[in-house]
Amino acid sequence: MLRRHAQGHPQLGGRHPCEGDDVAGVVVLNQDITDGVRAEEALRESEARMRTVLDNLPVGVWFTDRQGRINYGNEAAQHIWAGARYVGPDEYGEYRGWFYETGQEIAPEEWAAARAARTGQSTLNELVEIACFDGTHKIVRNSAVAVPGEGDQLAGVVILNQDVTEDIRREEALRKTLERLRLATTAAGLGVFEWDVPADRAFWENERMYEIFGRPREEGAITKAQFTHTFCTPMMSRALSEIWLRG
């Protein structure tokens, strides 16, 4: 029976009558379990704080047990995947994905979490395209960190998912734009350069610039002063100087 002492300390107590027909008295046993109860309360509070932190993180977090069975996924993780499947490594095939660089589909045993559970090998920021449970596709940075336990045992695996779909799409769009620009300038015979004004250094982006200025590549690009003195009218030189002074 758990009850509180008059001073507020929790005690585990019980009453046991003496044997025989006549009751001579009662033996009362009390055990002070204050420290144990407080430890349990502190643990519950710590778990509640941890759950609050995890559920408000902007990245997906999954936990597995020592066998690799997924037993927790925070809100961000379930949002990224549009759901969750609490399965072991043999059933990781329910999570479909492809290595982004090669396009190869990921087999159940090839997921970073499966490798971590099997060998203790951690993987960081592996770029993966995933098929979410609602049919949409996303690109994530997938990490799996093995958590050591006692001795050589594995305590579990922590899996991190970061949705980088928009970042990757923007990078791809920028690369395509630059490639189209390169093809257009090459076809038109245009020279392309970039000027670092504070350092007064020019970076010639294509061979056509060297052809236009009649300079071999090993001599490098010319300075601002050489450019304005050789190729610009006085009016152009003044206009360029104003631009460079404004930065």
* pLDDT for the residue numbered 57: 79
The pLDDT tens digits along the chain (247 residues) read 545 555 555 555 555 555 555 656 666 666 666 666 666 666 566 556 666 666 767 899 999 999 999 999 999 999 999 999 999 999 999 999 999 999 999 999 999 999 999 999 899 999 999 999 999 999 999 999 999 988 888 999 999 999 999 999 999 999 999 889 888 888 888 877 777 767 767 776 678 777 877 778 787 776 766 666 666 666 666 666 676 666 5
Query: What does 89-119 look like in DSSP terms, one character per residue?
Result: GGGGGGSEEEETTT-PBPPGGGSHHHHHHHH
Strands 154-163 and 137-148: antiparallel
Domains observed in the chain: 2-48 (no CATH), 58-163 (3.30.450.20), 189-246 (3.30.450)
Q: What are the distances in angstroms from CA 129 to CA 86, 96, 104, 134, 210?
A: 20, 9, 10, 14, 42
Q: CB–CB of 57/75 below 8 Å? A: no
Residue type present at position 208: R
* pLDDT for the residue numbered 5: 53
Q: What is the pTM of this model?
A: 0.63
Q: CB–CB of 174/157 below 8 Å? A: no
